[in-house]
Amino acid sequence: MNTIRVGSRESRLAVAQAEEVIARLGVPCELITMKTTGDKILDRTLDQVGGKGLFVRELDRALAEGRIDVAVHSLKDLPMEQPEGLPVVAYPPREDARDALVLPAGADAPDFSRPIGCSSARRKVQLEALFPGVRVEPVRGNVLTRLEKLDAGLYGALVLAAAGLRRLGLEKRISRLFSPEELLPAAGQGVLAVQARAGERTALLSTLDCARSRACALAERAVVRGLDGGCFAPIAAYAELDGSRLRVRGLYAAQGHIWRAEACGDAADAQALGAGTARQLIEQAKGAGAW
């Protein structure tokens, strides 16, 4: 079998994620890393420079041009629509989807005299509801860069995805995990997306796919798509599978209000359940004149 060229961003987290996929493939692979536009622009928030698509464009181009055979992404980074001919072909088993509170090294409680660092509108609105009066300010850079800023005293705490910390072996930095009732996760948080050229290596790549991850991913992204949500809208979506029954929860915020909705049904109807959750949220927002 020819060596499979696996592409990823060059950050330590992206490499760890790609190596996880390579280990699951169990065939000869070559890891090819690249710096994306989103990795290069660190002095502005993502909504000011074009969105999370900045983290995948170079990988999309390399895949389309045949310079790599597979791309591994954090599903959170993928735009709602994929380029023609470059589908997501597998969703490996999900890591912890929850958000984590991270404190400065040596601290045993958050210092609310300093801001909580996060760059997510979803986290921001929920943190402000959970901790009234707290300041939430953006923090850019990869996980390790953010931790350096935290330990340097720029923030009183950070909120990061538990999945990224675990994949980097940084579980000890987690002070506490937020339940979905406290902070509803982002759609696809903790899920990896394996992208390839349509029709190529189908049998091999299908071995990476986890039915549980796929159902949850499809449902959660359907919530965001139904809300016409860009990367920076205050939207959250989280699905849990119990047997064949899927529970989908969604959140939407606007004009100082937060609305929540959920739907339950068969996992085979994952996208329909996500779309139905989005419709409930839209009706609530419309009723308040916020849609």
Is residue 184 domain-resident?
no
- 219 and 143 share one domain: no
Confidence of residue 231 (pLDDT cuts 50, 70, 90): low
Cross-sheet strand order for the sheet of 245-254: 235-242, 245-254, 257-266
Is residue 185 domain-resident?
no
Buried b (16+ CB within 10 A) or exposed e, 211-230: eebbbbbbbbbbbbbbbebe
Is residue 15 domain-resident?
yes
Residue 35's pLDDT is 82
Residue 275's pLDDT is 98
Angle between helical axes of 270-287 and 211-226 (0-180°, round to 10): 30
Which residue has better confidence, 42 or 174? Answer: 174
Average pLDDT, the chain: 93
Distance CA 17, CA 167 (A): 7
The structure tokens 């698509």 sit at 53
Percent of the chain scored above 90 by pLDDT? 86
Residue 233's pLDDT is 75
Which amino acid is residue 39, in one-letter code? D
Residue 49's pLDDT is 44
Name which of 48-57, 222-231, 275-284 the model is least confident about. 48-57
pLDDT digits (tens, 9 = 90+) for 46-87: 454 445 556 699 999 999 999 999 999 999 989 988 899 999
Range of the domain at 200: 1-92+191-209
In the set 69, 77, 96, 99, the catalytic residue is: 77
Is residue 39 part of the annotated active site? The answer reads no
Is-contact 138 154, C-beta < 8 A? no
Residue 140's pLDDT is 87
| CATH number of the domain that residue 128 is part of | 3.40.190.10
Confidence of residue 274 (pLDDT cuts 50, 70, 90): very high
Percent of the chain scored above 70 by pLDDT? 92
Instruction: State residue 117 phi and psi, 5-degree precision.
Output: -95, 125
Residue 24 has pLDDT above 50, yes or no: yes
- 66 and 195 share one domain: yes
Count of CB atoms situated within 10 Å of the CB of 262? 17
What pTM was computed for the model? 0.92
- 86 and 197 share one domain: yes
